[in-house]
């Protein structure tokens, strides 16, 4: 089976759940949360497979690392700073509600915000996701900034 097929096989279990599909409608770093999750998960999949780690747990954990919706956040009444700290726990609760998780996958979700949030990754697979999330977030942030600047410049020309 090709890497692409293996990846989408893992993904399809999650995508069959309604609440997970809602991530498509959530905004995240200037695009939708599902796109962000897929970028982080694909990178985690390839890195962990290359390095001989448990790439299935690594990919599953990555696919669930930001599994939360707007309602989850407003329900828990978070301020942005709290949200940074709380969303791994919220994502873990959601994940456990819908899916069967192993210890590695739980650790991946809880530790993905390290070092901003306390709690070091305990497994190699968690370190891979923590690293991939940072790289992808920086990439998405600059892509978003670039898009904004291009739009602003376009506006100036239109005027």
Alpha-carbon torsion 95, 100, 105, 107, what sign?
positive
Q: Which stretch binds Fe ion (CB under 5 A): 11-19, 44-52, 59-67, 71-79?
A: 59-67
Q: Which stretch binds Fe ion (CB under 5 A): 45-53, 72-80, 101-109, 132-140?
A: 132-140
Smallest separation, CB 140 to Fe ion (Å): 9
133 binds Fe ion (CB under 5 A): yes
69 in Cβ contact with 90 (< 8 Å): no
Smallest separation, CB 117 to Fe ion (Å): 9
Separation between Cα atoms, residue 90 and residue 82, nearest integer Å: 12
106 binds Fe ion (CB under 5 A): no
Instruction: Report the number of secondary-structure helices (H) and strands (E) in the chain.
Output: 8, 2
Question: What is the maximum span of the chain, computed from C-alpha positions, in angstroms?
Answer: 57
Separation between Cα atoms, residue 62 and residue 112, nearest integer Å: 9
Cβ neighbourhood burial of 98 (10 Å; 0-12, 13-18, 19+): middle
Of 83 and 154, the one with the shorter C-beta distance to Fe ion is 83
Smallest separation, CB 29 to Fe ion (Å): 8
Number of residues that bind Fe ion (CB under 5 A): 2
63 in Cβ contact with 37 (< 8 Å): yes
Smallest separation, CB 40 to Fe ion (Å): 6
Smallest separation, CB 44 to Fe ion (Å): 11
Among positions 62-91, residues that touch Fe ion (CB under 5 A) are 66
145 in Cβ contact with 153 (< 8 Å): no
Of 138 and 154, the one with the shorter C-beta distance to Fe ion is 138
Give the interface with Fe ion as residue ranges (CB under 5 A).
66, 133
């Amino acid at each position: 089976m090709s890497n692409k097929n293996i990846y989408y096989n893992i993904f399809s279990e999650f995508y069959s759940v309604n609440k997970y599909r809602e991530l498509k409608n959530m905004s995240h770093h200037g695009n939708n949360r599902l796109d962000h999750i897929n970028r982080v998960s694909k990178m985690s999949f390839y890195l962990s497979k290359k390095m001989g780690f448990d790439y299935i747990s690594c990919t599953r954990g990555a696919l669930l690392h930001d599994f939360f919706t707007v309602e989850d956040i407003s329900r828990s009444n978070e301020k942005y700073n709290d949200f940074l700290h709380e969303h791994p726990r919220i994502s873990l609760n959601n994940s456990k509600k819908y899916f069967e998780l192993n210890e590695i996958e739980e650790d991946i979700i809880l530790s993905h915000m390290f070092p901003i949030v306390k709690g070091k990754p305990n497994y190699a697979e968690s370190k891979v996701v923590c690293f991939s999330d940072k790289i992808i977030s920086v990439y998405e942030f600059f892509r978003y900034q670039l898009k904004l600047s291009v739009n602003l410049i376009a506006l100036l020309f239109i005027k």
